[in-house]
Structure 1
Amino acid sequence: MIIFTLRRLLLLLITLFLLTFVGFSLSYFTPHAPLQGASLWNAWLFWFEGVLHWDFGVSSINGQLISEQLKEVFPATMELCILAFGFALVIGIPVGMLAGIMRNKWQDTLISALALLGFSIPVFWLALLLTLFFSLTLGWFPVSGRFDLLYEVKSVTGFALIDAWLSDSPWRHEMIVSAARHMVLPVLTLAVAPTTEVIRLMRISTSEVYDTNYVKAAATRGVSRRTILHRHVLHNALPPVIPRLGLQFSTMLTLAMITEMVFS
């Protein structure tokens, strides 16, 4: 166990080094990049030491500290990812279980086809379609922004819903509704890809658990189907899926950049 842990830690350090070094090299060789007077290795050491102290340097676009800009915009990204991740779990787990239980039946075929379709759609194209239909055609949701222009919400946490709830304005309820309406389309756009992956993982895990002997024995003893699904199938199908969910959350951070660009 100790050797396995040490190997994983060593692999983590090597991966971290390669990712940061290659990423820094891309900016180092751009024209007029800072630190070009130093060697690549020394420049990377200087940059990485700053990163460890939460100092990412100065933006070449507006001259402001990148760390200060992250404090302003990163909470909005995290709020979007948390809501989309929660949506993916709420929808993906039961739908994936249904597909696994109804394996090779029409329900499984339909769910698998929809999941494949959702996984194949590019995020920016889906965002444009949702905006065109629900915002421009039906007028149900706003096109962009976090609040309606009528409201001025003081930023406390950076999370739109929490800031609206903490506001002492007499229009607090309207602010919360406005923030929620602005969240619907970005959350749906960002949640599609992780939802399809959760469905796929739960389908595979559920179908494996559903064919085990202890599940068949419980059904033979006359245990209700609801009890079998809750106590035996869900409790044993979910643990293998949980470690892979972290990868989905990290993927959403990448997709969130595209989503936020479309919805401003």
Structure 2
Amino acid sequence: MGNVILRYINLMVVTLLILSFFSFSLAYLFPGHPIENLTGIRLENISQIENTEFNYSSGESLLVQYWHYMGSLFDGNWGVSFNSGLPLYDEITNVLPASIELSAYALFISIFVGIPLGFLAAMKHHKLTDYSLLSISVLGYSIPVFWLALLVILIFSLQLGWFPLSGRISLYYEIPDITGFIMLDIFLSDIDNKEAAINNVIRHSILPTFSIALVTTTLIIRITRRSVIETMNTEFIHAAYARGLSGRQVLVQHGIRNALMPIFPLLAMQFTTLLTNAMIVETIFSWPGIGNWLIQAIYHQDYPAIRAGMLAVSALVVIFTMSIDLTIRLMDPKRRRLKRAAI
């Protein structure tokens, strides 16, 4: 167990170092002088160049510059946004929780809808229920996220008026920013109308959550269906039937656990898809997350914000995915015995 944990930590550290090097290299890949890309200052005279390059160590070798960049990252000095003039570390920590919250809502719905439907499709294998669920999953997976978001806005916001058009919460409510997660901030705050504020947040979250969760739900249905079918055709399941157990007993006592264990690592991989789709949906619904923030940074050619935002999102995906995979491997005895080359 200790060797597995150590190998995962080494792999995570190496991956994060590679990501940081690519983030460092973006300053040289953007058009223009690297110092102009990082500071937004037009270098018109030699004294200004020397003074500015000293702060970023750009007059040194690339290795020294990278070392200086890593030191700035750990110190929380991620640069300053051209657009707002605020430190990027503060801006990213303000917008990232909104994206995580929206992705968590979508993942929760995808799991608690997709897994039961996947089991239902598997237990009705080659029947009308199975074919119907497969058809729905293929159709849902084929719908582009941005088109679905625009469609639900047109139907449920503009025509029916059931849900708000955009935003995270109405401007009527003033919620103090304590953690960045608005539901938790409402519970921790001392406002009088907490129940109304929670209902308002839920109404604002329904349409963007549905737009993101649909694709992941359809994928989870097919993953669960395949895993359950493979598990129910194994020898130990046939042996359970031979002992006289009913179909319900076999499914509850042997089928569910053994079918779910191969699914969980694949579910962890869906976090990347959820976060990517969330970044698209945030722009359409004006959701104040890092996706909408990055799009605005691209529009304004805010190079420091683009570099820091991409690094933050990439590091979050790597840490989350590897942590979930490590947890599942430690929980599943069969996965602990995998060979070293499996990582």
Aligned to 1:21: 21
Distance 2:279 2:203 in 1: 20
Deviation at 1:183, TM superposition (A): 0.8
Q: Distance in 2 between matches of 1:115 and 1:155?
A: 38
- Root-mean-square deviation over aligned CA pairs: 2.5
Specify the code of the residue in structure 2 equivalent to 1:33: N
1:189 aligns with 2:193: no
Letter in 2 for 1:100: A
Determine the structure 1 residue equivalent to 2:74: 52
Taking structure 1 as reference, are residues 19 and 118 closer, same or farther at Cα in structure 2, changes over 3 Å only?
farther
Q: What is the CA-CA distance between 1:215 and the residue it aligns to? A: 2.1
Show CA shifts across 1:203-228 (max 9, x none).
Answer: 12111111123323333444333322
Which of 119, 130, 133 is equivalent to 2:141? Answer: 119
1:33 and 2:37 correspond: yes
How many residues align? The count is 264
Q: What secondary structure sits across from 2:192 in the alignment?
A: coil
Contact map agreement 2:57 2:68 (CA 8 A) in 1: no
Displacement, 1:154? 2.0
Structure 2: where are the runs of 5+ without partners? 39-55, 287-343
1:68-104 alpha-carbon deviations (Å, 9 max, x no partner): 0122112211211111111111011111122222333
Q: Normalising by the residue count of structure 1, what TM-score does the alignment of the two structures yield?
A: 0.88
Q: Could you tell me which amino acid in structure 2 is paired with residue 15 of structure 1? A: T
Q: Residue 174 and residue 229 in structure 1: after superposition, are their counterparts in 2 closer, same or farther (change >3 A)?
A: same
Counterpart of 2:188 in structure 1 is 166
Matches within 5 A, 1:239-254: 239-254=261-276
How far 1:253 moved relative to its partner? 2.1
Deviation at 1:199, TM superposition (A): 1.8
Post-superposition CA distance 1:42-77 (Å, at most 9, x none): 433322232233432222322211110122112211
CA contact (8 A) 1:28 1:36 kept: no
Name 2:259's counterpart in structure 1: 237
Shift of 1:259: 1.6
User: Is contact 1:164–1:179 with CA below 8 Å preserved after alignment?
Assistant: no
Q: Give the fraction of aligned pairs with identical amino acids, expressed as a percent.
A: 40
TM-score of the aligned structures, taking structure 2 as reference length: 0.69
Q: Distance in 2 between matches of 1:41 and 1:191?
A: 43
